């Protein structure tokens, strides 16, 4: 198996694990900042154990990656709590357009016609998948737009850092989010979380963020930013599957067709040609 194919599998695994976040976050009976802070704290410990990053350096790019990661995990939780999970996911993944536009300039990675075509089809499928669940915009949707911007910056910066620096960035990003959010929560509402919510937070921190982020950084070592963002769009496709399994809610036909469009676009882009023209060595 080539490095590109291994990277693709890591990114698919990351998307599937991240997709459990909306259901989990909604299930935790706690304010959004408490959820984001506790989840980030658990994830920071898990990632430090999983990745054990060594030899990384503080640089402007590394600091920006840490900041974008902390912003991304925080704003997504707030958006998910303040608006529907569909709105939050849809708006966050609009950041894929920014990645497609900026990758050639920021990373020097060519923007091929297959990237453009696949992402257009996937965004159309995502619109069809979530259209029936979208609600009129509100405050949560504004936060979701910030999540989209930070998501785009995160993918571009992690791809640029890659290797041990990317591993350290996701670990530090969670640590920074926790160190900022938890004192605020303690000084305002306090942390009052039941046993069931603690168990859910354990899953969210260790698996949904910890294992997923480790898969993400490994995948980005050999997969270019645009196709990596496209693969990440499997996340909202998988979300209704978890809802079906957990709650027995059968998605409408439009959602099934939209999900199939996203899967087809990802499969076409990643199997027809190599995912990227070069495998960049870790820095």
- Does the residue 278 lie in any domain? no
Residue 161 phi, psi (nearest 5): -75, -55
Residue 272 pLDDT: 58
- Does the residue 255 lie in any domain? yes
Alpha-carbon distances of 205 from 54, 73, 182, rounded to whole Å: 22, 11, 15
Cβ–Cβ under 8 Å, residues 70 and 15:
no
Residue 279 pLDDT: 40
pLDDT of 69 > 50? The answer is yes
The string of pLDDT tens digits covering residues 207-234 is 999 999 999 999 999 898 888 988 988 8
pLDDT of 150 > 90? The answer is yes
Residue 282 pLDDT: 37
Residue of 226, 262, 210 whose CA lies nearest to 241 = 262
- Does the residue 234 lie in any domain? yes
The span from the CA of 48 to the CA of 51, in Å, is 6
Residues contacting residue 156 through CB under 8 Å, at least 6 positions apart? 99, 102, 103, 106, 107, 225
The string of pLDDT tens digits covering residues 111-122 is 778 888 888 888
Q: For residue 215, what are the domain limits?
A: 3-272
Give the number of domains in the chain. Answer: 1
- Does the residue 280 lie in any domain? no
- Does the residue 216 lie in any domain? yes
Residue 122 phi, psi (nearest 5): -65, -40
The span from the CA of 247 to the CA of 245, in Å, is 6
- Does the residue 281 lie in any domain? no
């Amino acid at each position: 198996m080539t490095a590109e194919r291994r990277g693709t599998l890591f990114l698919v695994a990351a998307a599937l694990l991240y997709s459990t976040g909306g259901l989990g976050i909604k299930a935790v009976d706690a304010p959004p900042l408490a959820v984001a802070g506790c989840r980030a704290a658990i994830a920071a410990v898990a990632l430090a154990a999983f990745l054990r990053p060594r030899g990384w350096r503080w640089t402007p790019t590394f600091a920006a990656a840490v900041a974008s990661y902390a912003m991304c995990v925080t704003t997504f939780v707030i958006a998910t709590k303040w608006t529907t999970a569909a709105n939050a996911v849809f708006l966050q993944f609009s950041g894929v357009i920014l990645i497609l536009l900026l990758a050639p300039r920021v990373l020097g990675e060519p923007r091929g016609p297959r990237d453009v075509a696949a992402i257009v089809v996937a965004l159309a499928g995502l619109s069809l998948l979530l259209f029936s669940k979208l609600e009129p915009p509100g405050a949560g949707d504004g936060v979701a737009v910030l999540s989209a911007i930070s998501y785009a910056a995160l993918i571009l910066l992690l791809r640029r850092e890659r290797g041990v620096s990317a591993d350290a960035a996701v670990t530090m990003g969670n640590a920074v989010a926790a160190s900022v959010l938890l004192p605020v929560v303690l000084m305002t509402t306090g942390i009052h979380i039941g046993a069931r919510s603690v168990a859910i937070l354990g899953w969210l921190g260790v698996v949904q963020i910890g294992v997923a982020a480790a898969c993400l950084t490994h995948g980005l070592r050999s997969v270019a930013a645009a196709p990596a963002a496209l693969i990440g769009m499997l996340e909202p496709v998988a979300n209704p599957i978890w809802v079906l399994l957990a709650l027995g809610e059968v998605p409408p036909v439009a959602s099934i067709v939209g999900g199939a469009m996203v899967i087809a676009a990802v499969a076409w882009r990643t199997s027809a040609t190599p995912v990227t023209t070069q495998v960049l060595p870790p820095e």
